[in-house]
């Protein structure tokens, strides 16, 4: 069974924590060390960013990390080689987050196959049109047992959400706001209402909330309204400040999440 499905089936009442980092930043060779440190420290699922020159959904922190990674020489082929080298040591689900352009250049079926060979369980492609997903990507992803994770935002219509829920597997990524990524101090009433609205839909898929989680307040709000939380920009900042030392960055993240 796919590791993502296994994770959610076995979690019981536990609220999950997933972290994002950009492969190749701050150092080209640090990917495996970051993943293994996260796993060792209890992170339930790891989102690995594929650097791209025009990351439309990302704020300045992740944009800067992507630029650094590209300057360091990170490519999709390099990333797959790094992941394959530690495949046997990684037990938690890995999810690649990347934009469509590099994946198209690599080849969609080749991408799906390389994901499986490297121990990757799912992929998030923010700019993948849903019709293209249904007719082109989904058949290939299903062939390789790869979960394509779709995003919803406060602006996503209920009909669209139910369509996504009916035609995807793994989990749904609930973006906390319609803006770009970046840490926030709190979620306002408008976001809280969005969380309550989605809760009331009784969706089939589990949900993870991401974008803006950086402290105890935003973490609790996310975990109270979904199966878990995804933290990106905050950890990327801490990892950069720690010079790529994942354990030091995790120490500072866990401290911030207690405040």
Active site members: 47, 58
Residue 181 · residue 232 · CB < 8 Å: yes
- Distance CA(25)–CA(64), nearest Å, equals 9
Residue 75's CB: how many other CB atoms inside 10 A? 16
By the 8 A CB rule, do 236 and 195 touch?
no
Q: Which of 171, 75, 86, 70 is nearest to 123 (CA)?
A: 171
Q: What angle do CA 246, 251, 252 make, to 5 degrees?
A: 100
Q: What would the two tokens of residue 1 be?
A: 């069974």
CA gap 146, 12 in Å, rounded: 23
């Amino acid at each position: 069974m796919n590791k993502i499905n296994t994770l959610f089936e076995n979690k019981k009442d536990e609220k999950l924590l997933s972290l994002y980092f950009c492969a190749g930043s701050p150092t080209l060779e640090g990917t495996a060390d970051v993943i293994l440190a996260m796993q060792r420290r209890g992170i339930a699922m790891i989102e690995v960013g594929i650097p791209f020159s025009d990351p439309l959904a990302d704020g300045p922190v992740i944009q800067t990390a992507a630029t650094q990674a590209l300057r360091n020489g990170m490519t999709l082929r390099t990333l797959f080689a790094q992941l394959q080298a530690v495949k046997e040591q990684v037990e938690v689900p890995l999810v690649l987050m990347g934009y469509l352009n590099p994946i198209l250049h690599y080849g969609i079926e080749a991408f799906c196959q390389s994901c499986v060979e490297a121990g990757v369980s799912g992929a998030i492609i923010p700019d993948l049109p849903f019709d293209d997903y249904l007719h082109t990507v989904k058949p290939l992803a299903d062939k390789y047992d790869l979960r394509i994770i779709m995003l919803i935002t406060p602006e996503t219509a209920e009909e669209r959400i139910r369509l996504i829920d009916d035609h995807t597997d793994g989990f749904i990524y609930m973006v906390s706001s319609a803006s770009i990524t970046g840490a926030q101090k709190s979620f306002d009433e408008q976001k809280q209402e969005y969380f309550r609205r989605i809760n009331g839909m009784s969706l089939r898929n589990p949900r993870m909330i991401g974008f803006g989680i950086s402290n105890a307040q935003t973490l609790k709000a996310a975990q109270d309204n979904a199966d878990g939380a995804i933290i990106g920009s905050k950890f990327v900042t801490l990892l950069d400040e720690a010079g790529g030392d994942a354990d030091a960055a995790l120490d500072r993240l866990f401290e911030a999440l207690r405040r």
